[in-house]
Amino acid sequence: MTTISTAHEALQSTVGEARVRPGDAGDEVCGVRPSWVVSPADTAEVSAVLRATAEHGLTVVPTGSGSRLDWGAAPRSLDVLLDVSRLRGVVEHAAGDLVVVARAGTPLAEVRREVAKADQQLAIDQPLPTSTVGGLVATGCSGPGRHFFGGVRDLLIGITVVRADGTVTTSGGKVVKNVAGYDLGRLYTGSHGTLGVITEVVFRLHPLAAEHRWISTTCDSPRRAAEVVAELRHCQQMPTAIELDRPRPDGPIEVCAELEGRPKATHDRAERLAAQVGGGVRDTAPSWWGGYPFDTADSGLRLGVQPAELGDLLEFAERAAQDAGVPLALRGAAGLGVLEAGIPGDCPVPAFTSLLEALRGRAAYAVLLRGDADARAAVDPWGAQPPGVQALMNRVKDQFDPEHRLAPGRFVGGI
């Protein structure tokens, strides 16, 4: 029988007294306060901590900078908030091979700065400035550039994870071309801490382009915006990103595409493309570029449709928002058919719920990324999965974390 004091002692024995402290209000995860906050310094300590939690049946939620800790559902139980932000630093930057190895708690910004020294980029944009690379993998979030470069999962080539029982395990490697074994990196990406604790990641890099340009055009209707987006998608200029912004549900829609490449050549491409869609060329991104249409006081959604259905979605969202009387803001990867939406935090729950349900019925999915307690209580944040898929996900979870101690209840289908 585990007592609180023995558990506490066990935790302290792994990382030392100083790095185990009681959780406070600021440590809450979706309104649930952890009993302890534990801060290991390296993979070995993470492993020791998890072993201790396994021995004492403790539930764990990992965190980096905590920038997306308020995403997802509230945990059913939370004993240990495992803070890996001390696992920090670029371990290796093999510039000749365009590969970087970094500890999970390293802020993305730090990694980008490091590789920029060799004129390279880790092609992940980040709306939330403190985000760590481990957190980005766990939440699978990238920005506008994923249209061309792929998302986090497409850039991840190797990963070290500590399993619920403390086992340290690696998958992938340090070379881009690698099909040895299963691609577990993809499984971990977007798993929100429910399969293990990420301690180290390996990414492939790209050359840093010399010149960037943005083409921007303002459309007064969803139809027009969808037409422009389709043109941009089908053109041969290989845009890095295609985004749109519609801060007011019935307001104008700004469609903006980014091009990058060689100096002068990129500007020429941008001019041609701008002429084609009837827009202008900018040498800086618009102010809204790469940010979410919601902040920590708002509810944030993610909606997904097949790219060709963008126009329908925009029209529908406009009407649904007006019907519900909700000032819905939309912004995101129009080229991929994935948009984020923001609803003010003071929106009455019934209106919010009806709007979300309506969107969920229309889009392929509508996820409540973050919201306050009332919002989370009113809806299933993730939405239902087809039964066969949910069953498979449950079985995967059961294998990785049979006791369901990692972020229990935070994920899809109550995983």
Residues 107-136 that bind other proteins (CB under 8 A): 119
Helix, strand, coil percentages for the chain (3-state, nearest 5): 35, 25, 40
Beta carbons within 10 angstroms of residue 92's beta carbon: 11
Cβ proximity to other proteins: between 287 and 399 the closer is 399
Structure letter (DSSP) for residue 101: E
Beta carbons within 10 angstroms of residue 390's beta carbon: 15
> Alpha-carbon distance 171 to 163, whole Å?
12
| 412 in contact with other proteins (CB under 8 A) | yes
Site for other proteins in 198-257 (CB under 8 A): 199-200, 206-210, 230, 233-238
What is the token pair recorded at 327? 């000032």
Q: How far is the CB of 411 from other proteins (least distance, A)?
A: 8
- State which of residues 74, 90, 98, 351 lies at the interface with other proteins (CB under 8 A): 98
- State which of residues 4, 44, 116, 275 lies at the interface with other proteins (CB under 8 A): 44
**What beta strand segments (E) does 194-349 contain?**
197-204, 206-207, 211-219, 241-246, 253-261, 280-282, 299-304, 329-333, 338-343
The size of the chain, in residues, is 415
Cβ proximity to other proteins: between 25 and 179 the closer is 179
User: 280 pairs with which residues across the strands?
Assistant: 216
Edge-to-edge order in the sheet of strand 99-103: 90-94, 99-103, 197-204, 156-162, 168-172
Site for other proteins in 7-36 (CB under 8 A): none
| 193 in contact with other proteins (CB under 8 A) | no
- State which of residues 90, 168, 281, 378 lies at the interface with other proteins (CB under 8 A): 168
Q: How far is the CB of 18 from other proteins (least distance, A)?
A: 20
Q: How far is the CB of 348 from other proteins (least distance, A)?
A: 25
Helix axes 43-55, 4-15, angle to 10 degrees: 170
Cβ proximity to other proteins: between 154 and 252 the closer is 154
Cβ proximity to other proteins: between 77 and 170 the closer is 170
Q: How far is the CB of 380 from other proteins (least distance, A)?
A: 11
Binding range to other proteins, per CB under 8 A, among 25-33, 173-181, 277-285, 321-329? 173-181
Site for other proteins in 297-316 (CB under 8 A): 302, 304-308
| 388 in contact with other proteins (CB under 8 A) | yes
